[in-house]
């Protein structure tokens, strides 16, 4: 195999330029963070999972403005800096105000896996102080059990297509297996054992080497990453299949070890991945958490879709559009509305019935009708080659869905204003 050499690591420049451009367009932006640590950002192969923190006076209208402006920044940078296409793959997923970050009911265990790079020093200190003072809870355990369950099992070929990889695409088979589908469950397992969120993927691998058996598996991964995946013998069959088997066996051994460290499920070392996922799926879910699971990703979705609708020769968005539209209705309509119904009415109604029951109260009659239009357009099949027009169509009707979620979020906060609203599973151990 012929490999394109490792490119210079310009993530530091990217993060700085990106934050500056976005802040120029939206002056309520306070902090830029990202998932994982800087050491985990592999040039040429990693995207950047941005997390934005904004001022507390940000309104619904501000969110819509920010969404459009950040989308424009993505478009401009993607056109001007083709090598940044992978880094710019999507707009920030979770975006919060400074105060929302420290609301106990809205706590999200992934917060502990974020690194903050630039912005208001007092806001960063407030956030980091809050996280440092928060004890491990069953909400954390449940999050990392679900994370482990998501990735547990053999690697599924074709699940993670290489998009916007440029000349480094032939290195992606190992990157996908090692960093996208093996390291996340290892990181979750280390967090469960240590009873704290381990921020970095590389750090999690190094800790796993000391915690679990078969350190040679971890050594293989770390060595490949260090060599920028220039390990030609690992790409050919049957070696690639053998590696997949080694990773799967390692996770099975790790799962067995979790029996000593978790309280929310009974770990049976003989469980298949499907059986393990069934155990995890049976865990009680706090309806506030269920509401926020999808809704927390909605605020910049309109800008994301409009960015994807742009034609940029070196930026492929067709699969990305299909991926977003495949989950947009379940994430922003089905799950949040059912959860809100549980919180407000004490039972789960179908989403449309929740809208009907809140129309004229939390939701306007106009938005109720407009959300129905959004659901119809967003859930319709996409003809081949029509991904970009469909993204524009959904973006054009997205505002009412966001406004409904913001109104429900505000009303939910009013109803769940006790110090720490979450389902009780029994005492921590």
pLDDT digits (tens, 9 = 90+) for 238-283: 999 999 999 999 999 999 999 999 999 999 999 999 999 999 999 9
208 Cβ contact list (under 8 Å, min separation 6): 186, 189, 190, 218, 254
Neighbour order of strands in the sheet with 114-119: 95-97, 50-54, 29-35, 114-119
* Long-range contacts from 268-275, C-beta under 8 angstroms, 24+ separation: 273/149, 273/152, 273/153, 274/153
Cα three-residue angle 67-180-16, rounded to 5 degrees: 45
**pLDDT tens digit at each of 429 positions of the chain:** 899 999 999 999 999 999 999 999 999 999 999 999 999 999 999 999 999 999 999 999 999 999 999 999 999 999 999 999 999 999 999 999 999 998 888 899 999 999 999 999 999 999 999 999 999 999 999 999 999 999 999 999 999 999 999 999 999 999 999 999 999 999 999 999 999 999 999 999 999 999 999 999 999 999 999 999 999 999 999 999 999 999 999 999 999 999 999 999 999 999 999 999 999 999 999 999 999 988 889 999 999 999 999 999 999 999 999 999 999 999 999 999 999 999 999 988 999 999 999 988 999 999 999 999 999 999 999 999 999 999 999 999 999 999 999 999 999 988 876 443 333 333 222
- Which of the 8 DSSP states describes residue 88? T
Beta bridge partners of 119: 31
Measure the CA–CA gap between 68 and 61, rounded to whole angstroms. Answer: 11
Judge contact between 31 and 23, C-beta under 8 A: no
Q: Is the dihedral of CA 382, 47, 55, 108 positive or negative?
A: positive
Q: What does the pLDDT read at residue 293?
A: 84
Q: What does the pLDDT read at residue 105?
A: 86
Cα radius of gyration (the chain)? 22
Judge contact between 126 and 4, C-beta under 8 A: no
CB atoms within 10 A of CB 201: 27
List the chain domain ranges. Answer: 1-134, 138-281, 285-429
Residue 117: helix, strand or coil by DSSP? strand
Q: What does the pLDDT read at residue 421?
A: 39
- Which of the 8 DSSP states describes residue 8? P
- Write the CA distances from 321 to 48, 140, 165, 402, integer angstroms: 18, 31, 17, 18
- Which of the 8 DSSP states describes residue 159? S
Please name the residue that has the structure tokens 């106009």: 366
Judge contact between 288 and 339, C-beta under 8 A: yes
Measure the CA–CA gap between 103 and 72, rounded to whole angstroms. Answer: 31
Q: Which CATH number fits domain 1-134: 1.10.390, 2.60.40, 3.30.460, 1.10.10?
A: 3.30.460
Measure the CA–CA gap between 360 and 349, rounded to whole angstroms. Answer: 18
Residue 413: helix, strand or coil by DSSP? helix
Of the candidates 37, 66, 26, 33, the residue with the CA atom closest to the CA atom of residue 50: 33
């Amino acid at each position: 195999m012929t490999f394109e050499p490792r490119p210079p690591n310009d993530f530091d420049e990217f993060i700085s330029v990106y934050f500056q451009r976005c802040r120029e367009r939206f002056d309520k932006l306070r902090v830029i963070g990202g998932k994982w640590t800087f050491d985990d950002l592999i040039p040429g192969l990693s995207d950047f999972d941005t997390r934005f923190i904004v001022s507390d006076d940000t309104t619904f209208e501000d969110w819509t403005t920010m969404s459009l402006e950040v989308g424009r920044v993505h478009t401009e940078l993607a056109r001007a800096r083709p090598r940044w296409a992978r880094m710019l793959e999507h707009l920030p997923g979770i975006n919060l105000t400074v105060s929302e970050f420290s609301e106990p009911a809205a706590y999200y265990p992934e917060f502990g896996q974020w690194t903050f790079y630039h912005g208001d020093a007092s806001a960063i200190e407030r956030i980091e102080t809050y996280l440092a003072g928060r004890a491990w809870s069953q909400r954390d355990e449940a999050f990392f059990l679900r994370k482990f369950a998501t990735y547990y099992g053999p690697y599924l070929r074709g699940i993670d297509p290489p998009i916007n990889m440029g000349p480094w695409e032939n290195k992606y088979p190992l990157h996908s297996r090692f960093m996208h589908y093996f390291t996340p469950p290892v990181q979750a397992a280390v967090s469960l054992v240590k009873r704290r969120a381990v921020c970095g993927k590389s750090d999690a691998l190094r800790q796993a080497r000391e915690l679990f058996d078969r350190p040679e598996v971890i050594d293989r991964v770390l060595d490949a990453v260090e060599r920028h995946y220039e390990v030609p013998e690992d790409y050919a069959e049957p070696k690639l299949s053998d590696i997949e088997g080694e990773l799967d066996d390692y996770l099975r051994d790790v799962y067995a070890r979790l029996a000593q460290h978790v309280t929310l499920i009974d770990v049976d070392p003989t469980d298949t991945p499907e059986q393990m996922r069934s155990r995890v799926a049976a865990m009680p879910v706090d309806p506030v958490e269920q509401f926020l699971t999808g809704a927390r990703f909605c605020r910049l979705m309109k800008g994301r879709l409009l960015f994807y609708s742009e034609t940029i020769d070196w930026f492929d968005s067709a699969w990305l559009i299909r991926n977003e539209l495949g989950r947009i209705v379940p994430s922003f309509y089905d799950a949040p509305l059912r959860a809100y119904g549980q919180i407000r009415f004490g039972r789960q109604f179908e989403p449309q019935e929740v809208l009907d029951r809140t129309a004229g109260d939390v939701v306007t009659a106009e938005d109720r009708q407009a959300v129905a239009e959004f659901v119809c357009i967003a859930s319709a099949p996409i003809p081949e080659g029509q991904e970009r027009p469909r993204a524009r169509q959904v973006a054009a009707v997205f505002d009412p869905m966001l406004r409904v979620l913001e109104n429900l979020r505000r009303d939910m906060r009013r109803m769940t204003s006790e110090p720490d609203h979450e389902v009780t599973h029994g005492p921590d151990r």
